[in-house]
Chains A and B, each alone.
Chain A
Amino acid sequence: MLSFLLIILAATFFTGIIIRTKSIASGRKGPGIFQPIRDVIRLFKKGAVYSETSSFVFRIAPTIYFSSVFVAMLVVPFGQSKGLISFNGDFIFFAYVLGIGKFFSIIGALDTGSSFEGMGASREALYSMFAEPAFFILMGSLALMTGHTSFQEIFSTLHLGSSITYALGTLAALVFLMIAMIENSRMPIDDPKTHLELTMVHEVMILDNSGFDLGLILTAGYLKFAIYGAIIFNLFSGVVAYEYAIPLFFIMQAFLAMVVGIIESFMARSRMNHNAQFIVVLSSVSLLIFFGALLVAGKFI
């Protein structure tokens, strides 16, 4: 319950901070950090334009996408307090429920019959396929280190004691951050601010969405960032008491948002055909973490 509220709160400012950081980095003043929320609220009040090619799939796809992210959010715990949905193997459910959202956003894009949206859909399908093994191997290593298989139990028993575990924790945080970037189609996989449809991934998939539907898609994006931020925070929070953990949580989220902003300001987007390699590297890093976890668990003989 606690994580639910905290993630929603964090989602309200996460994307705003990214945008603000980017503005400051490029020498502009930039909008307030709640501007994305204002945009979404404005969108919710608008009417909609639908393509004459599209069918009911296009109309329900954004809703299902949003719902899948929302339900995935309920699985994420906060320190000792469980998420609303928590059971052994809940992280499998987490990944697969995000999968159903992805499936619908892809077929929603294909439903418009536009060549641009088909292009985005094709890329999204490929990249998300590559990103998933990294997540599962990473959770496997965490399960190995802690001996548990649910988010809450893993995170509440994850003790970062020795230096090697700190190294692993940092690597894990890096992998989660990169997965968050891929899931949200940010740098270096995709540039949300690009103006050329040919080089877009996520933005080009939602070209035809408008009004309420677009609002839902954007909100889901904000939530996704906050969800991964919460997971990264959980890696380190362990048994910190709530009165420290809650402020720390917000500081961490703001910090992550700034990191994302800085990455986006100072890094060029990688070429489209290098993206796949980049994402596969993530799986290799998570394999590295797995072997590190083997070392910690003393399974190397």
Chain B
Amino acid sequence: MIITLAFILIPFIAICLIPFLKVKGKAIAVYASVSIIAILTSTLAFQGLTGANFSVTLLGSLISGPINIKIDALSGWFILIINFTFLTGGFYGLFYMNAYREQKKNISLHGILFVLLHTSLISLCTIQNSIAFLVAWEIMALSAFLSVIFEHEKIATVKAGINYLIQSHVSIIFLMIGFIWVAGQTGSYDFSSIHSYSQTHSGALSLTLFLFFFIGFAIKAGFIPFHTWLPYAHPAAPAHISGIMSGVLIKIGIFGILRMLLLIELNYTTIGTIILVISILSGIYGVMLAILQHNLKKLLAYHSIENIGIIGIGIGLGCLGLGTHNPVLSSLGFAGALLHTLNHSLFKSLLFFTAGNVYQSTHTLDIEKLGGLVKKMPQTSILFLISALAICGLPPFNGFISEFILYTGLYSWIQNAQITSLITIVFTISGLVLIGGLAIMCFTKAFGVVFLGNPRHIFHHEIREVSFFQLLPLYFIAAFICLIGIFPVYFLDLLIKPVQLFTGMQQLQFASFSGNGMESLLSISHASWFLIAFVILMLGIRKLALRKRTVTILPTWNCAYTAPTAKIQYTASSFVKTYSKLFGMFFLIFKKEKEVTGIFPAHAYLETRPYDKIEKWLIDYPTTNFKLFLGRFRFFQNGKLQFYILYGILFIISIISIPIIYDKIILFIEFLKQL
């Protein structure tokens, strides 16, 4: 009880204090509140992960009934991820926001929202009551919206924010329908009633109920085709908010889906197939569009869709494992999904923070204007490189571990699968491999164009590395990325309890990961060590070999062309030109072009802007049509006061007359009956 009280009181005090403090004080209050809450909940979360669930029942209100608070292994895992990202992101944010310290009111609001966002996200992981859940969900959505539009003087930012606001409310509608449906049938808002409802009703009803929740949470998570808010909101937000949004906010959607899987009893094969198909499409489509982007943060945002796809593949495989009573597949699927959730929150937040560093020192995110930053910002470059390698799923970093777990699940499933499952396996494997290959292409482009080569644009201000304290949390995340990559076994042990929650649903036996072909993770750990040691050894040999030789520094070899400029470098668009031609049919690329004409051509340009086909047909097309339709009723709003008064009178008259007319009709029908 004291813990819950502290959990509510500390943010409350911080929020009340923030407006009255100086800028430094605000920062301290925000960070102190976040840290205290993080420490408090992390201890409970650790207990939850080891199997000791924490639970309290709050009194609640007359409508909601008693509110159950529970931290089980699943909530524990997500709470730890949330806390880690908020601690590092908050610390980074303290220094990132330094540039905006003049805007005092704006900073106060931002600090308050940061605390609210943290508190609401953690509450979402613990609340077991649908009304309280929706309230917390709304607080989360609104505070995220207001954090995104921190730079609200820019029109594009506000537009992106409103886009997000609308879509997150569409997600709330779906969740509400789901919750009200259950509450209407069972009369209770507690989550356990969802479970009892699905137990007593037929498969089709449970499936529809689950699909409502799935769509609601998928909008938040960014599964295709519900992803369209993501590529706008992420670039618009300040770097630490984008990192947190991509790192944990969209993961709350994943959490919701997992929680509903635990609550609703379903035909797991059907739902597994649905999730798997959507996820593979999300993964491939996300990365395919990411390659085309010229805005660094937008590129990263599309990569979030890809990684949500990989997590979804894990969930889908886990469900299929439950459906086919295959304990190995189901535990590896869920373990891969959960581990990738952690991994993605690490490397994606690191990528967004480094992108923030780039933005702060160059004031642009257009990768066609960047280049050669590795010499000006060496530390940021190395951090970006580490996270890029990790997100491509390359050993010895953490992304490889979660993808390896998924592959192991798939290849072990091959042995005892039948024809339909085998086709699923082949397509899933091809999907995962393609995602990996495309990710390599995307991040060689991003890293190569932004950090390597010569600068493509002359900036009139000095470009320099950000301060050490701003880099400190980033080093911390990078260390974690390497740690998971090199010692995966310890992190996998933490996942035993959460995975058991899922396998336990079908009473599948689950000893530990060691029996499930996961002893190879130890070998991977050794192989990674060997790889690192060998690279160091070779670098040493190289150094020795070059010690006595002459090393000359000369201009780049340009095949005998002696006057190269930075303009002849390969740009981001030319790097992906062949690719975008090959896959042209999947994209919508707007071109603005003025061709070279005449003997002495004056000015020519070519501008391309990639656009999302799904967005065009699913969002833009219906919206324009709906607007056209509603436009027909504009004559109602003609600006004349007399008409508005008339509408009011008509309304009052109809309100009064409808019951009277209704009575008359009833009377008339009675009369007819008597005849």
**Chain A residues packing against B (C-beta within 8 Å):** 44-57, 60, 63-64, 66-68, 70-71, 74, 85-90, 92-93, 96-97, 99-100, 102-103, 106-107, 110-119, 121-123, 125-126, 128-130, 132-133, 136-137, 140, 143-144, 147, 149, 197, 207-208, 211-213, 216, 272-273, 276, 283, 287, 290, 294, 299-301
Query: Which stretch from B143-151, B163-171, B529-537, B632-640 is at the chain A interface?
Result: B529-537
- Specify which of A67, A115, A132 is in contact with B538 (CB 8 Å cutoff): A67
Residues of B within 8 A of A63 (CB): 535, 538-539, 542
Q: Can you list 24 A-B pairs, Cβ within 8 angstroms, ordered by A? A: A45-B549, A50-B552, A50-B553, A57-B385, A57-B452, A66-B538, A85-B527, A88-B517, A92-B411, A96-B394, A96-B395, A99-B436, A114-B558, A117-B570, A118-B570, A126-B579, A128-B440, A132-B437, A133-B434, A137-B429, A140-B410, A149-B411, A197-B559, A273-B578
Could you tell me if B546 and A47 are in contact, using CB atoms closer than 8 angstroms? yes
Contact B575 A121 (CB under 8 A): yes
Task: Name the residue on B nearest A119 (C-beta).
Answer: B570
Contacting A at CB under 8 A, from B515-558, are: 517, 519-520, 523-524, 526-527, 530-531, 534-535, 538-539, 542, 545-546, 549-558
**A93 in contact with B452 given A67-B538, A102-B440, A129-B440 (CB within 8 Å):** no
- Contact at A208–B441, with CB atoms within 8 Å? no
**A118 in contact with B429 given A51-B557, A140-B411, A299-B422 (CB within 8 Å):** no
**Inter-chain contacts of A212 with B (CB < 8 A):** 542, 545-546, 549
How many angstroms between the C-alpha atoms of A125 and B425 in the bound complex?
25
In the complex the two chains form, is A144's CB within 8 Å of B422's CB? Answer: yes
8 Å CB interface, B422-447 against A: 422, 425-426, 429-430, 433-434, 436-438, 440-441, 443-445, 447
Given known A64-B535, A122-B570, A149-B411, contact A287–B426 (CB-CB < 8 A): yes
The answer to whether A47 touches B579, judged by C-beta atoms less than 8 angstroms apart, is: no
- Take A87-B524, A110-B448 as given contacts and tell me if A52 and B542 are in contact as well, using a CB distance cutoff of 8 Å: no
Q: Cβ of B554 and Cβ of A93 under 8 Å apart?
A: no
With contacts A48-B546, A115-B568, A123-B578 taken as known, whether A89 is within 8 angstroms of B408 at the C-beta atoms is: yes
B231 interface contact, C-beta 8 A: no
Q: How far is the CB of B94 from chain A (nearest CB, A)?
A: 30
Question: Does A301 lie within 8 Å of B569, measured CB to CB?
Answer: no
**Bitwise interface map of B from 385 to 422 toward A, beta carbon under 8 Å scored 1, else 0:** 10001001111000010011001101110110111001
Q: Is residue B453 contacting chain A, with contact meaning CB distance below 8 A?
A: yes
Smallest Cβ-Cβ distance to A215: which chain B residue = B545
Cβ of B449 under 8 Å from chain A: yes
By a CB distance below 8 angstroms, the chain A residues around B444 are: 103, 106-107, 110, 121, 125
- Name A100's contact: one of B389, B578, B581 (CB within 8 Å): B389
Known: A71-B530, A93-B524, A144-B422. A112 touches B408 (CB 8 A): no
**Contacts known (A89-B408, A123-B578, A208-B557); A144 close to B452, Cβ less than 8 A:** no
Min distance, Cβ A160 to any Cβ of chain B, angstroms: 19
Q: Does B557 lie within 8 Å of A114, measured CB to CB?
A: yes
- Whether the Cβ atoms of B551 and A48 lie closer than 8 Å is yes
Complex-state Cα separation, A71 to B439, whole angstroms: 22
> Are B394 and A89 touching (Cβ within 8 A)?
no
Of A57, A112, A114, A143, the most chain B CB neighbours within 10 A belong to A114
Complex contact B408–A149 (CB within 8 A): yes
Q: Considering only CB atoms, which chain A residue lies closest to B416 in the complex? A: A147
CA of A207 to CA of B564, assembled, Å: 16
CB-CB < 8 A to B452: which residues of A?
A: 55, 57, 107, 110-111, 113
Interface residues of A, dominant DSSP: helix
Q: Does B196 contact A (CB under 8 A)?
A: no
- The dominant DSSP class at the B interface is helix
| Distance between Cα atoms of A290 and B331 in the complex (Å) | 26
Asked whether B414 lies within 8 Å of A112 as measured between CB atoms, the reply is no
Q: Specify which chain A residues have a CB less than 8 angstroms from the CB of B535 in the assembled complex.
A: 63-64, 67
How far, in angstroms, from A173 to B402 measured CA to CA in the complex?
30
A15 shortest CB reach to chain B, Å: 21
Complex A-B, nearest 4 residue pairs according to Cβ-Cβ distance, in ascending order: A118-B570, A129-B437, A110-B448, A47-B549
**Additional A-B contacts beyond A51-B556, A208-B557 (19; CB < 8 A):** A47-B552, A51-B555, A53-B454, A64-B535, A85-B523, A88-B520, A93-B404, A96-B403, A99-B394, A110-B447, A110-B575, A113-B371, A125-B445, A126-B441, A132-B434, A140-B414, A140-B426, A143-B414, A144-B422
| B274 at the binding interface (Cβ < 8 Å) | no
The reply to whether A103 and B549 contact each other, CB–CB distance below 8 Å, is: no
Within the assembled complex, what's the spacing in Å between the Cα atoms of A128 and B378? 29
* B371-392 interface with A by 8 A CB criterion: 371-372, 374-375, 378, 385, 389, 392
B616: CB under 8 A from chain A? Answer: no
